């Protein structure tokens, strides 16, 4: 497979993974959702994330889907709704973890990023749009755009989109994900959500490393191309 095709395929796969994780942080699971999730996980193959994905899969292995659905519904509310300080961790909003305040400067900064990328509200049901699930879906949309731009031969646009992905990771998600992961861990989460948070944290770190390396290569290629055009 040629380098361009590999980059396009990577962007598509990254988009699917980010959307998948975002959906799990935004959806209270029921029996039907768990059945669909189990089927989807059985088809996932990723050597780098094998441990985290296998932990997710194992946490769903039970004969009693009704009991599991009830457990996960309870855990979803406890871990992500911010019902009470002693009941569960603060809800997964960036402003809550960075400013101890909902709808803070972080919220406005995130909305500005969405607007600059041409998006409005990404998921209205989440409330403030600096929810972890919404931020993950935003990266998914950027990855999808990057793939489409490269397929269309718009390499400069794709490069700018890649830079936008990296900026959002560094300025937002990576700034508060470690604190959120620690807060969830302190509340003894169900193995499914423990695995989900672990997977998400690892994806953010690895993807940032991937983008950094890819940007270095692409910018170098672009510089060489510009020099050859000028000298020609």
Q: Which domains does the chain have, with CATH numbers?
A: 3-231 (1.10.3480.10)
For residue 43, pLDDT beyond 90: no
Phi, psi of 163 (to 5 degrees): -65, -35
The DSSP line for 167-215 is HHIIIIIHHHHHHHHHHHHTT---HHHHHHHHHHHHHHHHHHHHHHHHH
**pLDDT bucket at 39, cuts 50 / 70 / 90:** confident
Q: CA 121 to CA 128: how far, in whole Å?
A: 9
Measured in residues, the chain has a length of 232
Helical packing angle, 191-231 and 155-168, nearest 10°: 140
Q: Give the pLDDT band of residue 223 (cuts 50, 70, 90).
A: low
- pLDDT score, position 232: 53
Cβ-proximal residues to 43 (8 Å cutoff; 6+ apart), any chain: none
Of 86, 122, 118, 88, the closest CA to residue 107 belongs to 122
Q: Does the pLDDT at position 229 exceed 50?
A: no
Give the largest Cα separation in the chain, rounded: 70
Predicted confidence (pLDDT) per residue in 49-94, tens digit? 989 999 999 998 876 778 999 999 999 999 999 887 788 999 999 9
């Amino acid at each position: 497979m040629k380098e361009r095709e590999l980059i396009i395929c990577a962007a598509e796969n990254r988009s699917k993974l980010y959307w998948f994780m975002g959906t799990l942080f935004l959806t209270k699971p029921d029996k039907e959702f768990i059945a669909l999730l189990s089927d989807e996980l059985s088809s996932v193959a990723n050597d780098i994330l094998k441990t985290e994905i296998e932990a997710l899969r194992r946490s769903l292995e039970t004969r009693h889907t009704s009991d599991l659905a009830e457990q996960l519904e309870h855990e979803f509310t406890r871990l992500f709704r911010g019902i009470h300080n002693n009941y569960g961790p603060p809800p997964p909003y960036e402003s809550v973890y960075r400013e101890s305040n909902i709808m803070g400067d972080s919220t406005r900064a995130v909305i500005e990023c969405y607007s600059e990328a041409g998006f409005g509200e990404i998921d209205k049901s989440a409330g403030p749009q600096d929810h972890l699930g919404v931020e993950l879906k935003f990266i998914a949309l950027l990855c999808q755009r990057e793939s489409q731009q490269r397929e269309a031969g718009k390499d400069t646009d794709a490069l700018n989109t890649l830079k936008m992905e990296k900026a959002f990771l560094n300025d937002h998600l990576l700034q508060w994900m470690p604190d959120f992961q620690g807060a969830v861990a302190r509340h003894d989460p169900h193995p499914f959500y423990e695995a989900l948070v672990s997977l998400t944290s690892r994806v953010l770190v690895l993807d940032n490393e991937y983008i950094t390396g890819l940007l270095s290569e692409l910018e170098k290629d672009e510089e060489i191309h510009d020099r050859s055009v000028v000298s020609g």
